[in-house]
Structure 1
Amino acid sequence: MQQPTTPAAGPPGAVRAWLDALVVVLAGLVAMAAVAVLGLWLAGADDLPDGGFPAVLAATLALAVGGTVRLDGGAGDFAAVGAGISAMPLSVSVAGAVVMAEVFLRQLGFRAVVGGGELLGRIGRTALLWLLALVLLTLGAQHSFVVPLSGDLAQTIGSVLGLTPEVGFHAYGPTTVGIGLAWLLLVLAVTFAVSRRAPLPPALVRYQLAVRPAAFALWLVLLAYLAIGLAAGVLTAIVHGNARQTLAVVLLALPNLAWLAFGVGLGAEWHGRLVGVLGLPVPKPLSAVLRTPGGGQATVDLGALAERDARVWWLLPLAAVLLLAAAFLAARRSPRAVRLWQHAVRFALATAVTVLLVGLWTRVDADYGLSVLGVGLGQGGLADLLGVVLGGNNPLAGLGGGNLTLRLVFWTAVPLAAGWGLLTGALGALLATRVRHRGEAPAGGTPGAGGG
């Protein structure tokens, strides 16, 4: 009598689990790389000598997950360049996060619940492969190239002084790997907080109605700002020219500007400054506020920006309307049994967390400097002279010093956001009392005739 066959156990299932994790990681990297390649090409980064574009791409992906890129170089023992960049190109970040979240959820299937062990296993395997990818990004995000001296006089001076102009950059490993891992875990946490398709372990199912309606509504607010910013960017590219650089900003840093506008509309403040020249265009009001006399610290808020452009005042009613609409949606997606004060508190917490994350994501720290024989130089003077010696068409030409910083004032912004959320959450819940909530049957209808 033929013995019944048993399904294979162990390796095939384990291989499939690791393949699923690999697909999540590769899908995110491909999405980020596609956006970054187009944005960098529009920004002119493909003109770097010595085949530096792949390394620039790797450095951009490292920045997109929260890493830090350091720049160094100089001209032999005569001059040195030092710099560091810590700023997330959020267009690249959002593209990778959305694709990874979608692939991860599809692999879980359309289930209401998932075992805690299975979920932790998927997250652990994905995190391990993501760590490997971050290490490879760090190794790939380093490049240096020699800057050719132009002209006979420059070459003669260079040979006499022993000048060998060289510029390079590299991703800082601890920051890229450590914060990059935290970035992945945050993406997955936000995914399960926002998506109704995300199955939860049985012990967490009871909390989903307290978190998901408000989280999903605030995610829609952020998407609405992206849509508005995209329309404004395309219109600017068409009307005011300079389309290539404007579209480069859209593909690299649209959320950085759009979500800053969201916070400013709520009354939040950013502190920062701008010294030197930016490589990409930014809104003139923002640039004017940051570029203070003497390079001191500036406060970026609604009033300061409106002094440069009165249209900025529209950010206030825009934030109010979108938050009220989000609060109404959150209340409608919640059971009618939830009390008004509960809606208000939940929406306040969600708004505060959203502004906190926006502040972390939009933080910028970028500085560069040039020193001659160990003496730091500002913009101009001997730095410009050295740039002339090295040649006018190279990265060191005119390089003196510069700085761009932008940081949210958290201790005022987060409580302010919570106050906005409390007010709009209460108003939204009041408005939602007159409409049918999700899952309710219409009045006079048959059981089960309501929404899903």
Structure 2
Amino acid sequence: MRTSSGPGARTSSGTGAGTGGPATELRHWGEALAAVAAAMAGMVAMAAVGLYFAGANELPSGGYGAVVAATVLMAFGASARVEGGAAFVAGAKGGIEAVPLSVGLTGALLLAWLFLRPMRLHATVTGRELLARVGRVAVLWTAAVLLLSLPAEKSFTVSTGEPLVDELGDLIGASPTVGFAVDTGRAVGFGLLWLAVVLLLALAVSRRTPLPLPLLRFHTAVRPAAHATLTLLLVYVALALPVGLVEAAVGGHAKQTLAVVFLGLPNLAWLALGVGMGGAWHGHVAGTLGLPMPQPLAGVLRDDQNVRLDLATLTEQDSRAWLLVALAVVALLLTGLGMAMHAPPTVKAWQHALHLALALAVAMLLIGVLTRISAAYGLTLLGFGGSGAAVLEPDLLVLVAVGAVWGAVVGLIGGWTAARVRRNNHPQA
């Protein structure tokens, strides 16, 4: 019998997750394995290339592989710790909490696309079938994170960045040996949380993937706004890519710039979106430790005490920062119109405003959380020392508020504009 419930239906046979024999079950496990393997491979490749340009390939004793593995785990939100020393005369400690979003976004897009693809070929999906698919991916994902955590621990000798300290260490045979490790339990926990968020957002964004019947009522309210918001975020990353490549070609710091592109391009792109919308961060970069970042951003944060990062402080470093406002206005207006045009004509303008206000508020909350940085390193050797820190924290209340306000405004404008376009295209007789 033919059925046709659920958005984006193509066939009428159902997903068949609850029917069929071992061959069907094996095929479903193969689909889950393909999604997990592709996501992990993409993340490892992105991290490896980015760290290569950052110079991590020069780390001794297999340190490059350890840093690549740890960077992928950090893309889930896990933190890395640094501990070490040299006999009784030296000590090192530190850690880093930062999300390399180029790595994470690559994995998220691959995982979401391959997870959703089999379901798009069918008309319906039950809650039990959907949970079974999620469960298979979760089991394989946990195994992959555990395997990845094994090489994410390595000890190697490092330079302090201070010539006098390094020379003293070499002279007395007490060069600092630093251990780089990620806590396995936290990595698994954050990895599963990351997986849950990615799959939830994938289902919310996809307009063609069928939903279980109890969730169909959310299709109109959630999916157009979620899809439009994701498009906005991806467009910002796409616009930042050629800017980064041009800067690498003509800016005189090609490797450093390419390291930023392959590790943290979305971090900077979405920071630009937040600043252009009126959001703010605060932080500082001090000492001998610094993360690669554009000059205007480094100019604002290069301070021993926390400073505010917003449109005003960026403009003091580079007057062209005001272009971020113009770009945000245009992008947000197109986002509101795109959402309204893809929603059913029965949705009213005030409903568009509400839906996009919620979507952009959530997006800005996630951007704030994902762009935070906390990195520190300290070393002592016979009374001499080298240390540094980089901190960037979001003003979450400001970010969520500006997201909600902008969403409401452009959602309302988009709803009015879409209604007028439809009337002009289909005038009443």
* TM-score over 0.5 for the pair: yes
Q: Say if 2:126 and 2:212, in contact at 8 Å, map to a contact too.
A: yes
What do the CA deviations read for 1:72-108 (whole angstroms, capped 9, x no partner)? 1121121111111111110011111101111111222
Q: Say if 2:54 and 2:259, in contact at 8 Å, map to a contact too.
A: yes
1:17 Cα deviation from its structure 2 partner: 2.6
Q: Say if 1:43 and 1:280, in contact at 8 Å, map to a contact too.
A: no
Q: Say if 2:169 and 2:176, in contact at 8 Å, map to a contact too.
A: no
What do the CA deviations read for 1:16-44 (whole angstroms, capped 9, x no partner)? 33222222111100111121121111221
User: What secondary structure sits across from 1:196 in the alignment?
Assistant: coil
Greater C-alpha radius of gyration: 1
Q: Say if 2:288 and 2:387, in contact at 8 Å, map to a contact too.
A: no
Pick the aligned partner of 1:90 from 101, 106, 109: 101
Q: Say if 2:169 and 2:381, in contact at 8 Å, map to a contact too.
A: no
Match of 2:43 in 1: 32
- Structure 1 residues 9 and 307, CA gap change in structure 2 (3 angstroms): closer
Pick the aligned partner of 1:182 from 160, 185, 193: 193
Match runs of 1:249-260 below 5 Å? 249-260=260-271
Match of 1:430 in 2: 416
Match of 2:243 in 1: 232
What do the CA deviations read for 1:240-269 (whole angstroms, capped 9, x no partner)? 222122111101100000100000111111
Match of 2:56 in 1: 45
- Structure 1 residues 109 and 218, CA gap change in structure 2 (3 angstroms): closer
1:360 Cα deviation from its structure 2 partner: 1.2
Q: Say if 1:113 and 1:205, in contact at 8 Å, map to a contact too.
A: no
1:280 Cα deviation from its structure 2 partner: 5.0
Cα separation, 2, equivalents of 1:353 and 1:195: 17
Cα separation, 2, equivalents of 1:119 and 1:63: 28
Cα separation, 1, equivalents of 2:49 and 2:254: 14
Q: TM (normalized to structure 2)?
A: 0.89
Aligned partner letter, 1:210: A
User: What secondary structure sits across from 2:177 in the alignment?
Assistant: strand
Cα separation, 1, equivalents of 2:345 and 2:152: 52
Pick the aligned partner of 2:363 from 347, 354, 365: 354
Cα separation, 2, equivalents of 1:148 and 1:343: 55
What do the CA deviations read for 1:321-374 (whole angstroms, capped 9, x no partner)? 11111001111111121111111111111110110111111111111112357x
Match of 1:301 in 2: 310
User: What secondary structure sits across from 2:420 in the alignment?
Assistant: coil
Match of 1:202 in 2: 213
Aligned partner letter, 2:349: L
Cα separation, 1, equivalents of 2:372 and 2:271: 10
Pick the aligned partner of 2:127 from 116, 130, 138: 116
- Structure 1 residues 266 and 148, CA gap change in structure 2 (3 angstroms): closer
- Taking only aligned residues, the RMSD between alpha carbons, in angstroms, comes to 2.5
Cα separation, 2, equivalents of 1:268 and 1:212: 25
1:444 Cα deviation from its structure 2 partner: 8.1
User: Is 2:177 the partner of 1:191?
Assistant: no
Q: Say if 2:354 and 2:411, in contact at 8 Å, map to a contact too.
A: yes
1:154 Cα deviation from its structure 2 partner: 5.5
User: Is 2:380 the partner of 1:366?
Assistant: no
Pick the aligned partner of 2:325 from 289, 309, 316: 316
User: Is 2:320 the partner of 1:334?
Assistant: no
User: Is 2:63 the partner of 1:77?
Assistant: no
Moved more, 109-118 or 53-62: 109-118
Cα separation, 2, equivalents of 1:410 and 1:335: 33
Cα separation, 1, equivalents of 2:256 and 2:112: 30
- Identity between Structure 1 and Structure 2 (%): 45
**Residue segments in structure 1 that go unaligned for 5+ positions in a row:** 1-7, 376-381, 384-399, 446-452
Pick the aligned partner of 1:62 from 42, 48, 73: 73
**Residue segments in structure 2 that go unaligned for 5+ positions in a row:** 1-18
User: What secondary structure sits across from 1:401 in the alignment?
Assistant: strand
